[in-house]
Amino acid sequence: MASVPFSSPLAAELSEGVLERFLRYVRVDTQAEEGAPASTFPSTAKQLDLSRILADELRAIGLDDVELNEFGYVIATLPGTPGAPVIGLIAHVDTTPESPGTGVSPIVHEDYAGEPIVLPGDPSQILDPADEPALAARVGHDIVTSDGTTLLGADDKAGVAEIMTAVAYLRGTSESRATVRVGFTVDEEVGRGADHFDVEAFGAEAAYTLDGSGVGEVEIETFSARQLKVRIEGRGEHPGTAKGKLVNAVKLAADLVAGLPRDTLSPETTEGREGFVHPSRIVATVEEAVVTIIVRDHDDEEFERHTELVLQLAREIQEREPRARVSVETWDQYHNMRSVIEQHPRIVANAEEAIRRAGVEPVRSIIRGGTDGARLTAMGLPTPNLFTGGQKYHSRREWASVQDMATAAAMVVELVRVWGE
C-alpha cells in the first residue's frame, strides 16, 4: 500500500475502481497502424475489442443510450440536472504504433521507495528517478509500469479508466450536475481520431480530453501541424549508358534534406514554444523520391514561415535540375486551439476549479504535439486537455501513478459538479 495520502477523500474512494479498470484495459491490444488506407477506419479492427468492452460497461452502469457507432466511437449520455449545461468527456482507446503494444503485462510497484525501477521483461529498460523528476517526486506512490517488453498504454487508457470510474460514481449520486456526453475515440495516435466525430450530434457546449500527463495540468495550447510530401521525379537509365540522361531523384532528395537547418528548427534542438521543420521519412529510387517533412509551431506566423522554407527548398531543387519534376502535397493536420479556447474563459476556469477541489493546484502547460481536442476545437467544440497521471508516453518505460490517476478521476467528478452549479 502507498504511504502517501490521496489528494482528496473522493480520490481515495475512486482509487480502487480506477486501478482495476486501468489494469484490465491496458491488457487489451488496441494498437493503431500508421499508413492504413483512409477507407480502413479505424486503422486496426482490434481497437474495437476495447470499444465493445466499454460500451457493455457503460450499459451495466446504467446509461441507456450507449452507442458503438459504425466508426468505432463509443458515445453515451449521463443525464444531469434538468436545464444544466452539456459537457463532453473524451479519451482515446488506441495506443501508438511507435512502441510494441501487444501482450501488455502491467506491474504495480507498491509504495515506491525511490530506487531505479528495472523492468523484468527487458532489464535494459530502466526507469531512473535521476533522469525523471516526475518519478523522483512519486516516492510513496503505487507506480504502474509494463514488464519492459511493451508500452504500458496509460496513453490513453488512464483517461478512459478515469472517465469510466467518474461516470460510474456519478450515476449513483443525485446531486446537481451537468449532463455528460462520453466519447471514446479510435485512431488518435495516427492523427485521425476526430475524422468521423459528429460534433453536432454530440451536442456538448464544451468538452475535455483526458489525454494529458502530469498531475494538475490543463493544456489549451497545441502545435499547429502540417505535413508536406515533396515528390521528386527523376529519370532512370541503365547506369552504364546514362551519360547526359540520368536524373537521380535520390541525390536531389538528399540535397533537399541537406538544405534544412540542423542546429535550429529541429525536434532535437528545440523545446517549449519553439517549432520545427522535421524530415521524418524518405522513400527513394533513382526514378522517384518522396520526402515527408512535418512542420510544427505554436505561433501562426512562424508556422507559415517554416512551411515556406520547405516550399522554397523544393523550388530551388527544381530550378537546379529542370529535367526533374518537383511537386509538393500539403496536409493540414491540426491547429493550435488556444485562440478559440480563450474566447470561452469559463471552460478553463471550471477545469481549474475542479482540479483544486480534487486537492491539487492547477498548472497551465503547453503541448508539443496535438490532441483530438485540437481538431474538435477547430470543428466547433472547444476541447482543452486535462491530465491523467500517465508519464513517458510512447515508450516501454511508460508509467502511471495510481494516486495521480485517482486524483484525475476525482477531478472529472468535480468538473461535472462545477458545471452543474
Residues annotated as catalytic (active site), given as ranges:
94, 188
Do β-strands 143-145 and 399-401 pair in parallel, antiparallel, or remain unpaired? antiparallel
Nearest to 317 by CA among 245, 246, 257, 244: 257
**Using CB under 5 A, which residues numbered 251 to 290 contact Zn ion?**
none
Angle in degrees, CA 409, 207, 62, rounded to 5: 60
Please state, in angstroms and rounded to a whole number, the distance separating the CA atoms of residues 282 and 342: 39
Q: Does 217 bind Zn ion (CB under 5 A)?
A: no
Please state, in angstroms and rounded to a whole number, the distance separating the CA atoms of residues 169 and 164: 9
**Using CB under 5 A, which residues numbered 346 to 385 contact Zn ion?**
none
Q: Does 211 bind Zn ion (CB under 5 A)?
A: yes
Q: How far is the CB of 98 from Zn ion (least distance, A)?
A: 12
**Contact flags string 90-119 toward Zn ion, x per CB under 5 A:** ------------------------------
Give the binding range for Zn ion (CB under 5 A) out of 98-106, 210-218, 304-312, 327-335: 210-218
Closer residue to Zn ion, CB minimum distance, 156 or 219: 156
Q: How far is the CB of 175 from Zn ion (least distance, A)?
A: 31
182 within 8 A of 74, measured Cβ to Cβ: yes
Give the binding range for Zn ion (CB under 5 A) out of 26-34, 191-199, 204-212, 296-304: 204-212
Closer residue to Zn ion, CB minimum distance, 156 or 221: 156
Closer residue to Zn ion, CB minimum distance, 8 or 44: 44
* Phi, then psi, of 234 in degrees rounded to 5: -100, -155
**Contact flags string 32-71 toward Zn ion, x per CB under 5 A:** ----------------------------------------
Give the binding range for Zn ion (CB under 5 A) out of 32-40, 73-81, 137-145, 207-215: 207-215
Closer residue to Zn ion, CB minimum distance, 178 or 210: 210
Please state, in angstroms and rounded to a whole number, the distance separating the CA atoms of residues 372 and 381: 11
Applying CB under 5 A, the site for Zn ion has a residue count of: 3
Give the residue carrying C-alpha cell 478515469.
Answer: 162
Q: How far is the CB of 421 from Zn ion (least distance, A)?
A: 30
Closer residue to Zn ion, CB minimum distance, 77 or 213: 213
Q: How far is the CB of 368 from Zn ion (least distance, A)?
A: 13
Residues 6+ apart with CB under 8 A from 220: 337, 338, 341, 342, 348, 364, 384, 385
Please state, in angstroms and rounded to a whole number, the distance separating the CA atoms of residues 333 and 190: 10
My answer on whether omega of the bond before 37 falls inside 30° of 0, hence cis, is no
Angle in degrees, CA 371, 162, 219, rounded to 5: 35
Closer residue to Zn ion, CB minimum distance, 72 or 359: 72
Please state, in angstroms and rounded to a whole number, the distance separating the CA atoms of residues 332 and 225: 6
Q: How far is the CB of 171 from Zn ion (least distance, A)?
A: 26
Q: How far is the CB of 92 from Zn ion (least distance, A)?
A: 6
**Contact flags string 142-181 toward Zn ion, x per CB under 5 A:** -------------xx-------------------------
Q: How far is CA 392 from CA 127, 155, 202, 357, in A?
A: 10, 9, 31, 26
Give contact residues for Zn ion (rule: CB under 5 A).
155-156, 211
